[in-house]
Structure 1
Amino acid sequence: MKVVLVDLREELFESADASLRTVGASDVATCKVDVSDASAVTRLESEIVEKFGGIDVLMCNAGIQPGSDIFDQAGTWDRVLSVNLGGVTSFCQIFVPGMLSRGQPGLVINTGSKQGITTPPGDPAYNVSKAGVKVFTEALQHHLREVRAKVSAHLLVPGHVFTDLTRRGRREKPAGAWTPEQTADFMMESLAKGDFYIICPDNDVSRPLDEKRMAWAMGDIIENRPPLSRWHKGWAASFETFSKGA
């Protein structure tokens, strides 16, 4: 594959370029782009088409998690939403029409989060951004299916992965976390099966427990429980009983 890496951190480009070439990338380009800047994304799309002729695989993986509070006293909401959600919507809206016009098979992979599904308390801006990625990607895949496109969209939902986003100063990978390589391998296996929802387990949480957590979150709506009842002191014991055996 010919690969274009997009990031703000130019200091990572040299090692990433070398790593990709060792596994057979035929050509690698690196571009410093702020994914929240739609005009920069538009310029990037034009440059890639000019250099490589078009795009067949688009992976929207840029994300930040500086922390947030419900009343935005930390002043992080705008940046989190513009990168985590705005970056995904801009890239898809700017890149996918060209992918469709090529008439060739293609993939769009958007990185969501389990926090966008079960929305645990503690970081509401991040949860909102990742919930938005889920809803947007579902709508995108529905559209692609309805127009019988050769391009399909997929939602990657990582578990606990030891990356710069989750490192928080640690040098050793926590026992419960997966490596990025494990996550990528699981993603490729899921794409080969045609999965839309790529729900990654990790070394702490199994797929059955993930399913219980997601089912309970939806049950708050169906059963008219308090929102986020899993963390409500009046419902915590009920959730523990519900999730036993997972």
Structure 2
Amino acid sequence: MSNTAVIKPGNTSLITGGASGIGLAVATLCRKHGMRVAIVDYSNEYLAKAKEILGGSEDVETYQVDVSDLNQLHRLKDKVLERFGSVEFLMLNAGVSAKGGWNDVDYFHKILDTNLYGVINGISTFMPVVTSASGPSAIVITGSKQGITNPPGNPAYNASKAAVKALAEHLSYDLRDTKTSVHLLVPGWTFTGMSGGGPLSNTEKPAGAWWPEQVADYLYQKMDEGKFYAICPDNDVTSDMDKKRMLWSNGDLVDERPALSRWRETWQDDVKAYMKRDLNDLMGSPNLSQMGNEIEE
């Protein structure tokens, strides 16, 4: 049975960070398939707009919640179960970004409290609800390519998304023999509130970015294929380019290169030559094969 079997009439989806961007696009997809939708967000203004966009029917409810506050998540669970009775599809998508330095503890708290603990709080609160569903269920967690390739410039955000990736992978393993599938959504460049978009924005979408609806459709496709990872391309970056970048990042470990060598000046010629190589050739290189053997052992 396809993992998309959960997205059907009568089932309930709960989406954090669901009032704009990718969360709203997934909510719209769920509504198109007849699902009931609980939208969770921090912005009352965005929540009101989201309810309008989704049609404002009795099958749509919005909740103003700070996902970093576990008590608010517990109260949310009670409200959602009283309203809908079940949650079959859980998407933990709420996230924030900011810039700060190593001596700015508030910056780290702001990012980690929402991006990491928002996911932890969501799993601990709603996983028992989702896994107890009578039929197929699913948990989708939104990660980031920055949590995989770790580009310099935003350590708190990168760390939060790297941790989210680890949590999602572990959760997928722990639920492997249940009716609940787990998926890690990793968007590419997407026109959301973080990049000047959103339902209240008049900014024109950059040519290289995807619409949030494209990300939602890609997630649905990967779920239908039974995939855990849904690593989205965009109009500038292909799937092959993403794979090469991820392979290079892993190569820092395997080949004992300096950390984040991809961005170091002394490695630029090597990186450029590497990115021009055929992906199949790179995936069969001895170093990467050896890494795979070590993991299996």
Q: AA paired with 2:254?
A: I
Measure, in 2, the Cα distance between the counterparts of 1:232 and 1:170: 37
Aligned pair 1:242/2:274, yes or no? yes
Q: Distance in 1 between matches of 2:113 and 2:38?
A: 22
Q: Which amino acid aligns with 2:211?
A: T
* CA distance, structure 1, for counterparts of residue 222 and residue 131 of structure 2: 23
Between the aligned partners of 1:242 and 1:44, the Cα distance in structure 2 is 49
The answer to which of 114-123 and 12-21 deviates more is 12-21
Question: Number of paired residues?
Answer: 241
- 1:88 aligned residue (106, 119, 127): 119
Query: Could you say which residue in structure 1 is the equivalent of 2:40?
Result: 6
Q: For each residue in 1:155-182, what CA deviation from the matched residue of structure 2 results, as whole angstroms up to 9, or x when unmatched? A: 0000000111121898111111111111
* Residues 170/224 of structure 1: CA separation in 2 closer, same or farther (3 Å cut): farther
Matched with 2:230 is 198
Q: Secondary structure at the match of 2:116?
A: helix
Could you say which residue in structure 2 is the equivalent of 1:32?
Answer: 64
**Partner SS, residue 265 of structure 2:** coil
Using the TM superposition, give the Cα deviation of residue 75 of structure 1 relative to its aligned residue in structure 2, in angstroms: 3.0
Runs of 4+ in 1 over 4 A off after TM superposition: none
Match of 2:88 among 56, 61, 82: 56
Instruction: Report the AA paired with residue 67 of structure 1.
Output: K
Pair 1:182–1:102, CA change in 2 (3 A): closer
2:167 maps to which residue? 136
Give the structure 1 partner of residue 194 of structure 2.
Answer: 165
Is 2:49 aligned against 1:20? Answer: no
Q: 1:163 to 1:233 in 2, by over 3 A?
A: same
CA distance in 2, matches of 1:92, 1:103: 19
CA 1:133 to 1:52, structure 2 compared with 1: closer, same or farther past 3 Å? same
What is the percentage of aligned positions where both structures have the same residue? 44
Structure 2: where are the runs of 5+ without partners?
Answer: 1-34, 279-297
Q: What is the CA–CA distance in structure 1 between the aligned matches of 2:204 and 2:88, rounded to whole Å?
A: 36
Post-superposition Cα deviations, 1:202-236, rounded to whole Å, max 9, x if no partner, equal 01100000000000000000000000000111111
Aligned AA for 2:204? Answer: E
In 2, the alpha carbon distance for the partners of 1:198 and 1:175 equals 22
Map 1:79-158 onto structure 2 (within 5 A): 79-145=110-176, 148-158=177-187
The 8 Å contact of residues 186 and 230 in structure 2, kept in 1 or not, is answered as yes
TM-score (normalizing by structure 1): 0.93
Secondary structure of the 2:95 match is coil
Residue 167 to residue 245, structure 1, CA distance change in 2 (3 Å): farther
Higher RCO structure, 1 or 2 (CA under 8 Å, sep 6+): 2
